Structure 1
Amino acid sequence: MSSRVVITGMGIAAPNGVGLDNFESAIKNGKSGIQFFQELKDLNFGCQIGGKPDLSETDLNNYFTELQLRGLNSSGIVYGVISGLDAWKDAGLEPSVSDEPDWDSGIIFGTGISGVDKFREAIHLIDEGKTRRLGSTSVIQTMASGISAYLGGILGCGNQVTTNSSACTTGTEAILMGFERIANGKARRMLVGSCGDHGPYIWGGFDAMRILPVNYNNDPTTASRPMSATSSGFVPGSGAGALVIESLESALERGADIYAEILGGEINNGGQRGGGSMTAANNEAVQRCITGAIKNSGIDAAEIDLINGHLTATSKDAIEIKNWKEALGTGPKDFPFINSLKSMTGHCLSAAGSIETVATVLQLKNDFIFGNINCEDLSEEITGLIDSNRIPQITRAQKINIAAKASFGFGDVNAVMILKKYSE
């Protein structure tokens, strides 16, 4: 790999802010996007709260034609298109307007479960013998690659256009897949990111697993509590994050503004062995992923200033920090600063990695660390590992040179990426 890869555009549709300015203001001010849903209460959910982006009809009309909106019933695709087009525009790029595709540009945009509401609608129509009423968009809304297909057609990208899916690592994995394609000279730029639907048909399985908090239905903004002694499960969320990444050569040629540089990363799997399972991580695999990302990025562990962790507000938070501590070989006082966006957005599942990467890049670019809300009662298990001042509870001005973004997910999947403040 010889090409340096930089980030030149970003877009976001998060529960606590749509658009970069709104989102940055929200994370700086500790604004939560978690809310109560009457629909979940009516369906007898234990956890009746969640996070979803706040979009108006005007917002939708700014991104979709009337024809595109007709029958569109996939929130993940909506969030993905909005964040993706915003990232493309933010990078100073325009959709291809000729019959010639943009052969240098591609898309890797991940998702988890796509178009569940459309599936439900289709099942009823088919069972009633009304197949012809499904509409012409039912296939592209329910196929996993629907989001990348939508974006690819709007932008006219002629390089690889695909969708990945790897549970909660999906977003981080998509970015690293795009990074490798550019670094290997197979593309000049890639639109990368991920999205996730909201609603009972997405969140119901987690409620059935009893891993969501049930005691905060009347106080939703305090429910997501990563690293807290009173955390009781993750709050489900949804949305999308998108980044335009490209070779440094390409960015400099077009005079693009550069947010940050991607140094490298690592993706692996614990094989559901050695303590790992479908829902729990193999700790050795996590540590190997961390050390592999550091090695692949050509840095020393001591150079990491900030970790944006996976940290979902479960009993696994302390284990995650222990894995970082052992992989980095640090003591309690020289551990990097660490934070979790999930305190404000909930766990956005397949969209989490990309949304959280946007938050990490904003911190790198603008020299701040956002605070971890709802962890005023830090877990003693965690404070026994690292000093509490490494877990800021309010936003602080802080120059950051290197940050790590981590995502871990069901299936024993791991992804760690290393980002650096851009310098010539």
Structure 2
Amino acid sequence: MNRRVVITGLGVCAPNGVGLDTFTDSLRNGNSGIRFQPRLKELNFGCQIAGEPLVKDNLVDKYFTPLQLRGLNASGIVYGVIAGTDAWKDAGLKPLDKDQPDWQSGIIFGTGILGVDKFRESIHLVDDNKVRRLGSTAVLQTMASGISAYLAGIIGSGNQVTTNSSACTTGTEAIIMAYDRIASGKAERMLAGSCSDSGPYVWGGFDAMRILPRQYNDTPSEGSRPLSASAAGFVPGSGAGALVLESLESAKARGARIYAEVLGGSVNSGGQRSGGSMTAPNSEAVQRCIVQAVEQAGIQKNEVDVINGHLTATVKDPIEIKNWSLALEREGLDFPYVNAFKSLFGHCLAAAGSIECVGALLQFHNQCVFGNSNCEDLHPEISNRVDPTKIPVKTMAYSPKIIAKASFGFGDVNACVIFRAFND
């Protein structure tokens, strides 16, 4: 079977907006969610800015039971449950009766590291001979699949419930995995997405690698500069994005609103060969991933009219644009419009792909291409290959037809998914 798959629900918990309305406004108007973090200064971080969702306690109370809130100390789970629950609701779906699972609904919700604060708390209790004070949820909060387990209990999933983990590629990969399951007839609906914890214990390793910007602590909103000649490293972020993927037959049968169609995607690895490494992508693998995604989607290279790149604001940005250009065989004015959302909320690590996919899909719904911030000084290697008008600094009215979204992660792993404006 190769059934058509559509997107019927979106949810987001991002540094620049919790909920679709706030998130959309931030992308449209260039509102940054990157802020100075006093805790990072106290800990003597070089980079003292980050993107962290602003989630109020009274909002959390709406998503968790009092029992679930007892001892809850895992920010990634909070973000993921908010985004996932909102996406399910946005799709017009409700949790089934507690006594009967929904056998046709599943979850693929990824993460990189989950419950790091809870894990640290647990280590201290164990070392202090207070193991009995760990509580009954310590395991659930610190196992990688804790997020998919929480969501499964909320919506009553009876199909596949799992968690994937592929560094910065995680969220985009989860969407492709969910697409494959529905297209092959193994499920009718899948909640797909990813989340990432906040805080110094997640971000510290990157600061130690000196790949985060250090000169923007007093001007946080200027720190993340994808595509820019003055890019100085990625700003760390956190949060979650979630999408409901559904067979077209199921969506039509219940009269669901459809954001877009998923045409397909590709996942591969560069094997850490030919220039690829633990932290750098193999360009041939990136190009292969993009080409294979286009082929699997059944479209021509010249049909892609918008790209949402990985584009982290490092020295690899010009190489990524070159890879897109070579893979699609397009440059200059023929290059698709391209944007990079990390300028507004940083690099949300395992959550990056899912949050950015939500943003990319909102462009269909709002008939626009969201602008790029902090790249008025385009890197010359980029401007020599792509006409600057294809990298808008302000949101522009436009009706995208096909959007390609890619993520490239630590470990030399790649994912590219193709979305199309829904056309019955």
Normalization by structure 1: what TM-score?
0.99
Q: Post-superposition shift, 1:66?
A: 1.5
Aligned residue for 1:58, secondary structure, equals helix
Aligned to 2:312: 312
1:132-147 equivalence runs, <5 A: 132-147=132-147
2:218 corresponding residue in structure 1: 218
| 1:311 partner SS | coil
- Give the percent of matched residue pairs that are identical in Structure 1 and Structure 2: 66
Structure 2 CA distance, aligned partners of 1:137 and 1:330?
52
Mapped contact 1:36–1:217 kept (Cα < 8 A)? yes
Residue 57 of structure 1: how far off its partner (Å): 1.2
In structure 1, runs of 5+ residues without a counterpart are: none
Cα displacement (A) at 1:322: 0.1
- Aligned equivalents of 1:347 and 1:182: distance in 2? 29
Q: Judge conservation of contact 1:164–1:170 (CA < 8 Å) in 2.
A: yes
Q: Cα distance, 1:333 vs. partner?
A: 1.3
- Alignment match, 2:274: 274
Q: Are 2:195 and 1:201 equivalent residues in the alignment? A: no
Following TM superposition, by how much is the alpha carbon of 1:64 offset from its aligned partner in structure 2, in angstroms?
A: 1.1
Using the alignment, how far apart are the partners of 1:294 and 1:288 within structure 2? Answer: 10
Contact kept? 1:364, 1:402, Cα under 8 Å:
no
Measured after TM superposition, the shift of residue 385 of structure 1 is 1.1
Q: Which residue of 2 aligns with 1:8?
A: 8
Residue aligning to 1:370:
370
Pick which of 92-101 and 340-349 moved more. 92-101
Q: Do the aligned partners of 1:310 and 1:406 also contact (CA within 8 Å) in 2?
A: yes
Where do 1:193-342 residues align within 5 Å? 193-342=193-342
| Paired letter, 1:344 | L
Is 1:40 the counterpart of 2:16? The answer is no
Question: Equivalent residue for 1:20?
Answer: 20
Deviation at 1:307, TM superposition (A): 0.2
Which residue number in structure 1 is paired with residue 88 of structure 2? 88
The more displaced of 324-333 and 340-349 is: 324-333
Report SS of the residue matched to 2:419: strand
Residue type of the alignment partner of 2:34? I
Q: Which residue of 1 aligns with 2:192?
A: 192
- Structure 2 distance, partners of 1:234, 1:344, is 11
What is the one-letter code of the residue matched to 2:130? K
* Equivalence for 2:117: 117
CA contact (8 A) 1:282 1:412 kept: yes
Range with bigger deviation, 301-310 or 325-334 = 325-334
Question: 1:178 — aligned with what?
Answer: 178
Once the two structures are superposed, what CA deviation does each residue of 1:68-113 show, in whole Å capped at 9, x if it has no partner?
Answer: 1110000000000000000000001001124111000000000000
Residue 130 of structure 1: CA displacement? 0.4
**Separation in structure 2 between the aligned mates of residue 201 and residue 15 of structure 1, nearest angstrom:** 18
Give the structure 2 partner of residue 418 of structure 1: 418
| Aligned partners of 1:9 and 1:243 also within 8 Å | yes
1:131 partnered with 2:115: no
Question: Could you tell me how far apart the structure 1 residues matched to 2:368 and 2:125 are?
Answer: 51
> Counterparts of 1:51 and 1:170 in 2: how far apart (Å)?
18
Instruction: Work out whether 1:61 is the aligned partner of 2:61.
Output: yes
Q: How far apart are the structure 1 equivalents of 2:97 and 2:19?
A: 25
**In the aligned structure 1, how far is the partner of 2:223 from the partner of 2:167?**
22
Distance (whole Å) between structure 1 residues aligned to residue 70 and residue 222 of structure 2: 37
Match of 2:62, SS state, is helix
Task: Count matched residues.
Answer: 424
Provide the secondary structure at the position in 1 that maps to 2:246: strand
Q: Which runs of 4+ in 1 moved over 2 A?
A: none
CA separation in 1, counterparts of 2:306 and 2:76?
A: 29
Judge conservation of contact 1:6–1:261 (CA < 8 Å) in 2. yes
- Distance (whole Å) between structure 1 residues aligned to residue 149 and residue 136 of structure 2: 15
SS state at 1:40 partner: helix
The CA deviation at 1:331 is 2.7
Aligned to 1:397: 397
Q: State the shift of 1:381 in Å.
A: 1.2
Whole-Å Cα distance in 2 between the matches of residues 192 and 56 of structure 1? 24
- What CA distance in whole angstroms lies between the structure 1 residues aligned with 2:286 and 2:385? 17
Distance 1:374 1:330 in 2: 25
- The alignment partner of 1:167 has SS state of coil
